[in-house]
Chain A
Amino acid sequence: MYSVTKGTRHMSKPCDLVQGTLDMLLLKILALEPMNGFAVSQRLKQISGDVLQVSDGSLYPALHKLEQEGWIAAEWKTSEHGRRAKYYSLTRLGRRQLEKEANAWGRLSSAISRVVKLKEA
Chain B
Amino acid sequence: MRPEHWLFTIPLRLRSLLRRRQVDQELEDELSDHVERKTQEYIVKGLAPEEARRQALLEMGGIEKRKEECRDVRRVRWLQDLEQDLRFGLRVLRKSPSFTAIAIATLAIGIGANATIFAVVENVLLKPLPFPDSAQLVDCGHDVPSIGLHGRSAAFLYFIYREQSRSFQSVGMWRENSNNLTGLAEPEHVRSLELTSEVLPMIGVEPLLGRLFSDDDAAPGAPLTAILAYGFWREKFGADVSLIGRNIILDGRPHQVIGVLPRNFWFMDSKAAVLLPLQLDRNKTFLGRFQYSGIARLKPGVLLGQASADCARLIPVAFRTFPPLPGLSLASFEQSGLKPAITSLKASLLGDIGGVLWVLMGTIGMVLVIACANVANLMLVRTQGRQQELAIRSALGAGWWQIARELLVESLLLGGAGGAVGAALALAALRLLQVLHPEDFPRLEQISMDVGSLLFTFAISVFAGLLFGLIPAIRYAGGFMAAALHTAGRGAGESRQRHRARNALVVVQVALALVLLTSAGLMIRTFQALRHVNPGFLYPEELQTFDISIPRSVSADPVAVTRMEHIIADKIAAVPGVSRVGLTNDIPMGSSHWYDPVLIEGREAENLPGRVYKFVSPGLLATMGNSLVAGRDFTWEDLYNQHRVAMVSENLARELWGTPQAALGKHVRHMSISPWLEVIGVVGDERADGVDKPAPATIYWPLLMDHFGPEPLHATNEVSYVVRTPRAGSSAFIQELSQAVWSVSKELPLANPQTVEDLYKKSLARTSFALVLLGIAGAMAFALGVAGLYGVISYSVAQRTREIGIRVALGAQNSEVRRMFVREGALLAALGIIFGSIAALGLTRLMASLLFGVNPIDPLTYAAVAAALAAAAAVASYIPARRAMRVDPIVALRYE
Interface segment among B65-73, B611-619, B662-670: the answer is: B65-73
**Chain A contacts for B38, CB-based, 8 A:** 38, 56
Shortest beta-carbon distance, A10 to chain B, in Å?
Answer: 14
Q: How far is the CA of A32 from the CA of B519 in the complex (A)?
A: 69
- Kindly supply a per-residue 1/0 record for chain A positions 67-85, scoring 1 wherever the CB is within 8 Å of any chain B CB and 0 otherwise: 1111000001000000111
B59 adjacent to A64 (CB under 8 Å):
no
Q: A68-B9, A70-B5 are in contact. Are A56 and B70 (CB under 8 A)?
A: no
- Interface check B37, CB cutoff 8 A: yes
**Chain B contacts for A21, CB-based, 8 A:** none
A61 adjacent to B33 (CB under 8 Å):
no
**Chain A contacts for B1, CB-based, 8 A:** 69-70
**Chain A contacts for B12, CB-based, 8 A:** 67-68, 70
Q: How far is the CA of A65 from the CA of B30 in the complex (A)?
A: 15
Q: How far is the CA of A67 from the CA of B16 in the complex (A)?
A: 12
Shortest beta-carbon distance, A82 to chain B, in Å?
Answer: 12
Q: Contacting B73 at CB < 8 Å: which of A8, A36, A38, A68?
A: A68
- Interface check B858, CB cutoff 8 A: no
- Interface check B29, CB cutoff 8 A: yes
**Chain A contacts for B77, CB-based, 8 A:** 68
Shortest beta-carbon distance, A80 to chain B, in Å?
Answer: 11
Q: A61-B66, A64-B74, A70-B8 are in contact. Are A86 and B33 (CB under 8 A)?
A: yes
- Interface check A49, CB cutoff 8 A: no
Q: How far is the CA of A76 from the CA of B69 in the complex (A)?
A: 21
- Interface check B61, CB cutoff 8 A: yes
Shortest beta-carbon distance, B8 to chain A, in Å?
Answer: 5
Q: Which of B30-70 contact A (CB under 8 A)?
A: 30-31, 33-34, 36-38, 55, 59-61, 65-66, 69-70
- Kindly supply a per-residue 1/0 record for chain B positions 1-32, scoring 1 wherever the CB is within 8 Å of any chain A CB and 0 otherwise: 11001001100110000000000001001110
Q: How far is the CA of A57 from the CA of B31 in the complex (A)?
A: 10
Q: How far is the CA of A64 from the CA of B366 in the complex (A)?
A: 48
**Chain B contacts for A55, CB-based, 8 A:** 59, 61
A38 adjacent to B5 (CB under 8 Å):
no
Q: Contacting A38 at CB < 8 Å: which of B2, B9, B33, B55?
A: B33
B66 adjacent to A76 (CB under 8 Å):
no
**Chain A contacts for B55, CB-based, 8 A:** 8
Q: Contacting A57 at CB < 8 Å: which of B5, B9, B36, B66?
A: B66
**Chain B contacts for A83, CB-based, 8 A:** 33, 36
In the complex, what residue of chain A is closest to B75 when comparing beta carbons? A68
B69 adjacent to A86 (CB under 8 Å):
no
**Chain B contacts for A8, CB-based, 8 A:** 55
- Interface check A93, CB cutoff 8 A: yes
Q: How far is the CA of A56 from the CA of B38 in the complex (A)?
A: 10
Q: How far is the CA of A38 from the CA of B9 in the complex (A)?
A: 24
Shortest beta-carbon distance, A104 to chain B, in Å?
Answer: 10
Q: How far is the CA of A55 from the CA of B58 in the complex (A)?
A: 11
- Interface check A37, CB cutoff 8 A: yes
Q: How far is the CA of A64 from the CA of B12 in the complex (A)?
A: 11
Q: How far is the CA of A60 from the CA of B66 in the complex (A)?
A: 7
Q: Contacting A60 at CB < 8 Å: which of B2, B8, B31, B59?
A: B31
Q: How far is the CA of A118 from the CA of B848 in the complex (A)?
A: 88
In the complex, what residue of chain A is closest to B31 when comparing beta carbons? A60
Q: Contacting A86 at CB < 8 Å: which of B30, B36, B61, B73?
A: B30
In the complex, what residue of chain B is closest to A68 when comparing beta carbons? B74
B70 adjacent to A61 (CB under 8 Å):
yes
**Chain B contacts for A57, CB-based, 8 A:** 59-61, 65-66, 69
Shortest beta-carbon distance, B177 to chain A, in Å?
Answer: 74
Spell out B's residues near A (CB within 8 Å). Answer: 1-2, 5, 8-9, 12-13, 26, 29-31, 33-34, 36-38, 55, 59-61, 65-66, 69-70, 72-74, 77
Spell out A's residues near B (CB within 8 Å). Answer: 5, 8, 36-38, 55-57, 60-61, 64-65, 67-70, 76, 83-86, 91, 93
Q: Can you give 17 A-B contacts (C-beta < 8 A)?
A: A37-B34, A55-B59, A56-B34, A56-B59, A56-B60, A56-B61, A57-B61, A60-B30, A60-B31, A61-B66, A61-B69, A61-B70, A64-B70, A68-B9, A68-B77, A86-B30, A91-B8
